[in-house]
Structure 1
Amino acid sequence: MKPKANISEFRRALMRVVLLTPWDQKCGNAEYSKHLVTGFSDEVEIFPIDLPNLMGTRRSFGDKYKLHKDFRRILQKINEIDPDIVHIQHEFVFFGSGTSRSCVNFDWFTKRLRHPFVVTMHTLPVKLLNPDKRKLLRRIDPRRLISRFHLIRAMERARGVILHSQSTQRVLMQATKSLSDKISVCPLPIGKVEGTSAGIYTKQASDVWLTIIGFVSRYKGHLSAVELLSHLPNNFKLVIAGGFHPKEGNPEAYWSSILSKADQLNLSDRILFTDFIKTKAEQSYYMERTDAFLLPYQEVGQSGSAVLADCMAYNVPIITSDAMSMIVYRTESDTCFSSSILFSSTQESYRQTDAQREVFDFSLAASQLERLFAAMQDQNSVQRKHRKTVQTRFSLEETCSRHLRIYNDVLGGKASGRN
């Protein structure tokens, strides 16, 4: 007679993965992680653990000790689960309210992590890792050198470092050669946002909707989108589908600057604000009706963009800036025209003076946009073919397969680096 299977032994036969991200909070990182989890097969058992998110918080006396207490609780949970591998979805605000403190805390945390781990670096600060050689004071700044040391040492403890683009891979390789055999490039997965829901706006037959999806944050370049709208016909509408990030400091100031620009250009009847998108179904409503997506992002060191990944699932023009995170899917010969760069990542930089910002020809961008509409409607155009290739090559299934290979390489004692 065949003995009954022991349920606990069966569950232990699965690969046990602890996933560290702000799982229980409103956060793009957490949304990405939840999307990723849906694509894993039955071979993996996922244990999400909520990380703190210190975005928008101010430092105060005792913060370090409170945070370390939280991290000790997380480490205890990990030890209780006893996973095969820990996967850290890293953002600097998860480990400290400032970059310097975050790097030190990340080093402190990984030193005490007793299980094999991989880390996905969603953002890499270029100026911290590879400052401009012409700026001597920045290069020898003790705070920068200390932060850089702690950040690299923490990543060296990882069995694998996952990045979303070849651009950020080059940034990290220029900073240190010690991670060369650990780095894997794994772009964010592409897939349509599912669901049906009514939005607060109804699209008229003659309307052309240009949409910016996601939180209204400074680096997303809404002012450039408003400027572009002023050079387009009156039936073009700008849909700003999102609200303030719940943890961004002083978001009203940026919101006010968008309204001011719209007032100056007399565009108040052509800009549609949806406020905070509460559900995936509501997000789907606007994405399904969009004629072109706008992503005029500023360069902030992002390794990839979940918003760009969502937009890639649709067969309409995607207009981006030249920021590193915007060319993730354009590095191969059969995908390089899957989106189009019509914005500059320095045009609206809130970290630069007016004299440093690049002069940009919005009227030229407007004329190019109208040509892109025709190209994306043609099934045989290069743009349409490249978009289809991206949708297949970077599907959720393919992305999860890449992660599983990395996990298996780590557990097998091999170097995890692969592209």
Structure 2
Amino acid sequence: MISVGTPSISAQSFEQCASKRQHVPPVSQSCKQAGHTCLRVGLLTPWNQQCGNAEFAKRLTSGFTSFATVEPIELENLIEHDTLDSRRKQEGYITKLIKQVRASDADLIHIQHEFCFFGKTRRYADRRLLRLMRNIRKPIVLSLHTWKNSMCKKGMKLSLKSVLSAACYKIQNRWMRRCLFAADAIVVHSKDT
């Protein structure tokens, strides 16, 4: 499932996504009604930070209250984070995230993606995101807040330059492509992102 434009999340779409990998109890119309089970969503996002994604996540969470409980799992901006200044420390950070997600009671994981949450360069960010997605073992919704032009295939002509461009495109995007295939649902915020 790919959604373009303002994300519209329904209990039914989350149930369909979650049911691909494991059984999830039926979602009630209101989580506050006694005797009903709510869908538990682990939301990987910046949370208590001054960040547009953190604000978006809090508003998204308030929209989930009728059918889900949300457990925020904090993501850090690795470009601005002083203590995560080496690749080794950043890999340790991803390992910690994997353990946190596995330990959570979430039925479904929703990842708010920005490249800076997973690495200082796109190459490492894509690899770490894929490592995270392959190791959490729960259904995944991936929200893409940024879509780079280099991730779009351009019209191909039969020439050496276009063959080289196609090869570069495949090399540049091989990790992100795998991430997109690992997701059970993908949310893209607009045609430009």
Asked if TM exceeds 0.5, the reply is yes
Distance 1:72 1:11 in 2: 36
Alignment of 1:86 onto 2:113: no
CA contact (8 A) 2:94 2:128 kept: no
CA contact (8 A) 1:119 1:162 kept: yes
Q: In the alignment, what sits opposite 2:153?
A: 130
Distance 1:120 1:26, change over 3 A: same
Distance 2:109 2:96 in 1: 15
Give structure 2 stretches of 5+ with no counterpart.
1-33
1:139 to 137, 155, 166: 166
SS of the residue corresponding to residue 63 of structure 2 reads coil
CA contact (8 A) 1:104 1:147 kept: no
CA contact (8 A) 1:19 1:48 kept: yes
Distance 1:127 1:101 in 2: 16
Distance 1:118 1:57, change over 3 A: same
The amino acid across from 1:49 in the alignment is: I
1:21 to 45, 48, 59: 45
Distance 1:150 1:11 in 2: 43
The amino acid across from 2:129 in the alignment is: F
Runs of 4+ in 1 over 3 A off after TM superposition: 55-58, 131-139
Tell me how far 1:133 sits from its aligned partner.
Answer: 4.1
CA contact (8 A) 2:111 2:141 kept: yes
Say which structure, 1 or 2, has more relative contact order (CA 8 Å, 6+ apart): 2
Distance 1:11 1:65 in 2: 46
Q: In the alignment, what sits opposite 2:86?
A: 63
Alignment of 1:392-407 (within 5 A): none
What do residues 273-297 of structure 1 show as CA deviations (whole Å, max 9, x unaligned)? xxxxxxxxxxxxxxxxxxxxxxxxx
Tell me how far 1:57 sits from its aligned partner.
Answer: 6.8
TM-score (norm 2): 0.70
The higher radius of gyration belongs to 1
Provide the aligned C-alpha RMSD in A. 2.6
Alignment of 1:202-281 (within 5 A): none
CA contact (8 A) 2:144 2:188 kept: yes
Q: How many positions carry a matched residue from both structures?
A: 155
Distance 1:128 1:34, change over 3 A: same
Q: In the alignment, what sits opposite 2:9?
A: none
CA contact (8 A) 1:18 1:48 kept: yes
Q: In the alignment, what sits opposite 1:33?
A: 57
SS of the residue corresponding to residue 64 of structure 2 reads coil
Q: In the alignment, what sits opposite 1:54?
A: 78
2:138 to 105, 115, 127: 115
Tell me how far 1:98 sits from its aligned partner.
Answer: 1.1
CA contact (8 A) 1:103 1:147 kept: no
Distance 1:124 1:130 in 2: 12
The amino acid across from 1:140 in the alignment is: A
Q: In the alignment, what sits opposite 1:158?
A: 183
Give structure 1 stretches of 5+ with no counterpart.
1-9, 168-301, 304-419
SS of the residue corresponding to residue 13 of structure 1 reads coil
CA contact (8 A) 1:23 1:48 kept: yes
What do residues 101-153 of structure 1 show as CA deviations (whole Å, max 9, x unaligned)? 11111111111111111101111112233246475444333xx5333111011
The amino acid across from 2:87 in the alignment is: K
SS of the residue corresponding to residue 161 of structure 1 reads strand
Tell me how far 1:21 sits from its aligned partner.
Answer: 0.8
Tell me how far 1:85 sits from its aligned partner.
Answer: 0.2
